[in-house]
Structure formats: C-alpha cells, structure tokens
Amino acid sequence: MRASALRPWLSRCASPTPAMPAMVASQKQARWSSHSPLGSPPVNLRKKVTLNTLQSLHRKQEPITMITAHDFPSAHVADAAGMDMILVGDSLAMVALGMEDTSEIMLEEMILHCRSVARATRSAFTIGDLPMGCYEIAPEQALESAIRVIKEGRVQGIKLEGGVEMAPTVARITRTGIPVLGHVGLTPQRQNSLGGFRVQAKTTTGALKLLEDALALQEAGCFGIVLEAIPAEVATLVTRKLRIPTIGIGAGNGCSGQVLVQVDMSGNFPPGRFLPKFVKKYGDVWGESLKAIELYKSEVKTGIYPAPEHTYPISKEELTEFEKLIEDKTFD
C-alpha cells in the first residue's frame, strides 16, 4: 500500500479538534516534552539581593556567599540554595567549554552564558566576568564591553582583573552606573606574566603592592574586591584596611565573603582531576551522574526502560484499526 493511498482514509477519520485554551495547551505540552527546569516559584521567595543588601551584610559583618554558575541549571540550583551572589566567571572556559585557560574565551561567549544564568536567577546578585582582551586597551573599550555584558547578558554587575593600572578603567565604568567587582592577587588572565597559577603577596613587597591595588580599586568605585590565592593573614589585614567587602578564594576566612567554582566544590569531575588546595569538595555530582547514566544504559540494553508508565496510550479500537490497515501491506 502506498502512503498516498492512506490520505483519503486519514481525511475521513480526522475529527476536528476544538480550540484548546492556551493555558491548557501549555500544561499538556509541559507533560509531552522536555521543558525549562525552572518550575514553580518557591513558596517563600527571597527578596532580590542588591548592592544595598551586600553593603548591609558587610556592615553587619555577616559573610557574603558567592558561587560561580555557567548555565541555566547551575544558576538555578545556586539561586535555590540561597547564594547572595552568582558569578558567571571566565573559569567556565575550562570547566564548561573545555578550553586550556581563561584567555581563550571571547566576549560573545561570556554574554551567551550570562544570559543563560540570568534567566534562572531570581534573587541572587549576578556578576559577569569581562574576559581577557575586551577591556585592557582603553577605558572606553572596557565601558563598551561592560555595557554589552549588562544589556545583552542581563546581569547586574561586571568583574575585571587588575589593580592600580585598572583604576581609571574602573572609574570610567562606575561613573556610568555599572557596579564593578575588582579582582587582585592571583589574576588568572595574567598567569603567563605571573609564572603560572602561583600564590601571590607572600613577601612584604608583594603584600604592600596588593594593598595598594585594593585601595586604588576602592577609590575608583569598586563595590567589592576578589582576593585570590594569597596568605590568609595578608587577606585579613587588607580586608580591615578597606571600606568595601572582600571576597576570598584561597585567601582564608578573614575576608568579607567567599567564592568557589561550582564545578569544583560540587565534585562534578572525574577521579584524579587536579583540585586547588583551597577547594573543599562538598558533593559528588560526577559520581551520582555516572551511576544514573550507567543504570539508564543498562536498562535500555535489557529492555527494562521504557516501561509502560513511560509511554503514551492509544485506545484498543484505534490500535486494532491501525493494525488492520497495515496488515500484509507494504509501503514505498
């Protein structure tokens, strides 16, 4: 039987479908396919975290919590967990895109990830990293990049690396009303000039330079500063000298808050992967995911999945009619 021979029968059997209210259609479609994992809003939705919120936490000496996210699911869970800040860090170049280091990622790629994170975030204050090459040439270049991250990436602020030399750039951006989070100490975008990923401010000279950088960023208008990979004692002393909060990563608990890369702290990596000294592994996302996927593979191979409860029904009459039509027939 040719497929064309079925058309008259199909047109006779097709019954008009009444118009379905948009809400009902949407609900049914949600059952029929994969869809946004955002789900229903929490019963007790947190108030939106703003700069005023962060400043209040700092005044009360309540530690500020910050974590990275690189897409909708990672931002969704971070926001649900109650993070104060979510950073779309350029570390996603390695942990999400498989690149060698942060120098590879482009501004357009960062904006794409910022938009994904922003869609999932309802309460946390969101920050987007300015990647290497989009802000160092001149303050005007940096401002243009920052505006794109805010407008297109839909985050609330930006982060950039550098100290005294970046102060004029920070001042140019903050004058337009864009919040800037500074970053000193180990600055990964400059790892080649630092001799690799090495601890900074281990000498008196280095510690004084770090303090000078932090003070310059504060005066330029940064609302906070990330201190990365420096001795805890130095971070504590620098934090005490500043009016703005510090966010530590490998800088001890004397900072105003802490940040970690979500992939690292959640254990979303295979055994044997290098982990920086400052990272505490709070979960085993890789292990749990691996078990789930291996079980899925096994059940598909053995025919256990999909079970009847995972399939859609058809009435016996319609199935009998269909079987009768195709019995002993061939299709071109």
The residues annotated as belonging to the active site are: 228
Peptide bond into 306 cis (omega under 30): yes
Tokens representing 291? Answer: 């078990």
Q: How far is CA 267 from CA 24, 78, 176, 249, 260, in A?
A: 40, 15, 39, 17, 12
For the residues of 117-167, what is the DSSP string, one character each? HHHH-SSSEEEEEPPTTSSSS-HHHHHHHHHHHHHTT--SEEE--BSGGGH
173 touches 146 (CB < 8 A): yes
Strand partners, 64: 257
- Tell me the C-alpha distance between 204 and 197, whole Å: 20
Q: What SS3 class is residue 291?
A: helix
Strand partners, 249: 228
CA dihedral 58, 225, 127, 248 (to 10 degrees): -80
Q: How far is CA 224 from CA 91, 151, 184, in A?
A: 19, 21, 11
Q: How far is CA 179 from CA 16, 51, 137, 217, 251, in A?
A: 56, 8, 20, 12, 23
Residue in the block written with tokens 């400043």:
55
